[in-house]
Structure 1
């Protein structure tokens, strides 16, 4: 299954993540990972969901600005010291540049890179 990282740029105000979560929950779309930051009056949210195409539509209809939907590699990591370093070293040694990475539920590494297919092959995800 092709997995996608959705990039959302909301205004920085109370309740935005609550509304995002409620919007996806009402549509029966599961959030598998999320990363959120704010700065200069805006938020930057990366979210991995089980149904990306549906999520984009639902979020846009709810007024969220979905800036991108990018393919990702998702790989299970053992929950032990050094596993992130090992996975990222394998990518680096293969010349794959990591543009973004975060850990999802269940110790899964989510990677956006300059070569997602190669990253999937290397990580086995």
Structure 2
């Protein structure tokens, strides 16, 4: 199963470069990233192709990985979900109707969706049924 790395950086020029360079120098590919700044800090979720190497590279650059979360990564999303109004809503409604809570979600390369949910097995079933 894929892992999302969650970390916090200072909200200042060069921090994203430091993160990207650390991973790149270690040969770790960033498949997806979601970052938001607030109150002088940036919270970052990263999907990398090798979580253990990614953690080692980041920590070697002085960047603490606060947690790793097992996540589902969908195959490429169907065309009717991508850049179409309502696609995410239909998926979220199907999960809600199955009593699944979404903790976080973001889109990554290849029109794939990263999901952290309360029930990954049920989420996989619901997504499969929708595709």
Whether TM-score is above 0.5 comes out as yes
Q: How many residues end up aligned between the 2 structures?
A: 123
Q: Give CA deviations for 1:37-90 in whole Å, capped at 9, x if unaligned.
A: 111111101000110111111111111021110011111312332332222222
Aligned partners of 2:4 and 2:122: how far apart in 1?
17
Q: Following TM superposition, by how much is the alpha carbon of 1:122 offset from its aligned partner in structure 2, in angstroms?
A: 2.4
Query: What's the counterpart of residue 77 of structure 2?
Result: 77
User: In 2, are the aligned partners of 1:9 and 1:67 still within 8 Å (CA)?
Assistant: yes
Query: What's the counterpart of residue 67 of structure 2?
Result: 68
Aligned partners of 2:12 and 2:47: how far apart in 1?
22
Are residues 1:20 and 2:19 paired? yes
The runs of at least 4 consecutive aligned structure 1 residues that moved more than 4 Å come to none
TM-score norm. by structure 1 comes to 0.90
Deviates more, 1:43-52 or 1:71-80: 71-80
User: In 2, are the aligned partners of 1:7 and 1:66 still within 8 Å (CA)?
Assistant: yes
Q: Give CA deviations for 1:86-113 in whole Å, capped at 9, x if unaligned.
A: 2222211111100111111121111111
Query: What's the counterpart of residue 5 of structure 1?
Result: 4
User: Any gaps of 5 or more consecutive residues in structure 1?
Assistant: none
TM-score norm. by structure 2 comes to 0.86
Classify the secondary structure of the residue corresponding to 2:10.
coil
Aligned partners of 2:93 and 2:28: how far apart in 1?
33
User: Any gaps of 5 or more consecutive residues in structure 2?
Assistant: none
Aligned partners of 2:121 and 2:3: how far apart in 1?
13
Aligned partners of 2:5 and 2:77: how far apart in 1?
22
Q: Following TM superposition, by how much is the alpha carbon of 1:120 offset from its aligned partner in structure 2, in angstroms?
A: 2.5
